[in-house]
């Protein structure tokens, strides 16, 4: 698409598998590892939204720790595993198609960026640990504005940097609320629906739906 000036990715759940930390400990956690991982993620997101509404900001790493502590109590996970899980979260695994897809987009001279709830430190470590640091022109964090997605001030960050029109941004996320937030803001918002989920009813329909990031190569 000639009109597209930048392709921007959500990080957690889109580029990187948020369940991979717990999955690497599944022998220690047992059969409940996936339910535990899903609860950790859901609580983490709920805390970002609630803190935004209450105007009681904590950075994403603090929220990740708080949501882990709650989830470990609920699922009776040995407290000695806390540091191991947190260290694994700092180095989440990318989805299998991520690196090749980014390489092909980079070869096609697209401007690539991340726009995430994560702190700059977390995001830089995550990208570096997966040997992706040369793929992105920019890594944008909500810490620039001090409020979490889907607040419109977050989606405004790349617009101010690139000085482009909103519809010149291709934005990809696996999170339906993020797709809706970006789409209602004005981005061309693409839903990465890996698990055949149902899209939330939030006054927006994604401009495209794909099952994995490599399908992006077929529509740009």
Of 10, 17, 31, 214, catalytic: 10
Q: Read off φ and ψ for residue 173, nearest 5 degrees.
A: -150, 150
The reply to whether 190 falls in a domain is yes
Q: What is the pLDDT of residues 157-210, one digit of tens each?
A: 999 999 999 999 999 999 999 999 999 999 999 999 999 999 999 999 999 999
Burial of 33 (C-beta count, 10 Å sphere; 0-12/13-18/19+): buried
| Ranges of H-type helices in 24-112 | 26-29, 33-54, 60-74, 82-89, 98-107
60-74 and 82-89 helices cross at what angle (nearest 10)? 140
Q: Are residues 155 and 99 in the same domain?
A: yes
Q: Are residues 173 and 106 in the same domain?
A: yes
Q: Are residues 209 and 160 in the same domain?
A: yes
The reply to whether 154 falls in a domain is yes
Taken in order 180, 117, 114, 22, the sign of the CA dihedral is negative
What pLDDT, on the 0 to 100 scale, is given for residue 151? 98
Q: Are residues 139 and 165 in the same domain?
A: yes
Domain that holds residue 106: 6-17+93-218
Q: Are residues 109 and 214 in the same domain?
A: yes
User: Does residue 1 register a pLDDT over 90?
Assistant: no
Q: How far apart, in whole angstroms, are the C-alpha atoms of residue 145 and residue 123? A: 16
Query: What is the share, in percent, of the chain residues with pLDDT greater than 70?
Result: 99
What pLDDT, on the 0 to 100 scale, is given for residue 2? 67
Q: What is the pLDDT of residues 19-57, one digit of tens each?
A: 999 999 999 999 999 999 999 999 999 999 999 999 999
User: Does residue 60 register a pLDDT over 90?
Assistant: yes
Instruction: Examine the residue annotation and report whether 131 is marked as an active-site residue of this protein.
Output: no
Mean pLDDT on 91-102: 98
Taken in order 183, 143, 92, 82, the sign of the CA dihedral is negative
Choosing from 60, 89, 118, the residue where a domain stops is 89
Minimal CA–CA distance to 95: which of 202, 195, 185?
195
Q: Are residues 74 and 47 in the same domain?
A: yes
What pLDDT, on the 0 to 100 scale, is given for residue 45? 98
User: Does residue 220 register a pLDDT over 90?
Assistant: no
Burial of 171 (C-beta count, 10 Å sphere; 0-12/13-18/19+): buried
Choosing from 68, 89, 110, the residue where a domain stops is 89
Order of strands, sheet of 112-116, starting from the edge strand that comes earlier in the sequence:
138-141, 112-116, 6-9, 169-173, 188-192, 208-210
Q: Are residues 37 and 136 in the same domain?
A: no
Overall size of the chain counted in residues = 220
Strands 138-141 and 112-116 come out as parallel
Domain count of the fold of the chain: 2
The reply to whether 1 falls in a domain is no
Q: What is the pLDDT of residues 116-137, one digit of tens each?
A: 999 999 999 999 999 999 999 9
Mean pLDDT on 80-84: 98
Q: What is the CATH number of the domain that holds 54?
A: 1.10.150.240
Say what the pTM is: 0.96
The reply to whether 176 falls in a domain is yes
């Amino acid at each position: 698409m000639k009109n597209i000036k930048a392709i921007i990715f959500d990080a957690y759940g889109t580029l990187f598998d948020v369940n991979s930390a717990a999955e690497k400990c599944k022998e220690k956690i047992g059969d409940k590892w996936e339910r535990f991982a899903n609860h950790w993620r859901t609580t983490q997101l709920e805390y970002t939204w609630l803190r935004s509404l209450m105007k009681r900001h904590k950075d994403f790493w603090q929220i990740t720790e708080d949501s882990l502590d709650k989830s470990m109590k609920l699922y009776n996970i040995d407290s000695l595993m806390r540091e191991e899980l947190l260290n694994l979260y700092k180095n989440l695994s990318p989805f299998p198609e991520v690196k090749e897809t980014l390489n092909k987009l980079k070869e096609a001279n697209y401007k690539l960026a991340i726009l995430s709830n994560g702190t700059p430190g977390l995001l830089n470590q995550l990208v570096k640990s997966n040997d992706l640091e040369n793929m992105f022109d920019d890594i944008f964090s909500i810490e620039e504005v001090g409020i979490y997605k889907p607040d419109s001030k977050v989606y405004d960050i790349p617009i101010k940097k690139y000085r482009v029109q909103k519809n010149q941004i291709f934005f990809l996320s696996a999170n339906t609320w993020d797709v809706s937030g970006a789409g209602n803001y004005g981005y061309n918002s693409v839903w990465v629906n890996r698990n055949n989920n149902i899209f939330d009813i939030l006054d927006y329909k994604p401009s495209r739906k794909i099952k994995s990031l490599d399908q992006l190569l077929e529509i740009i």
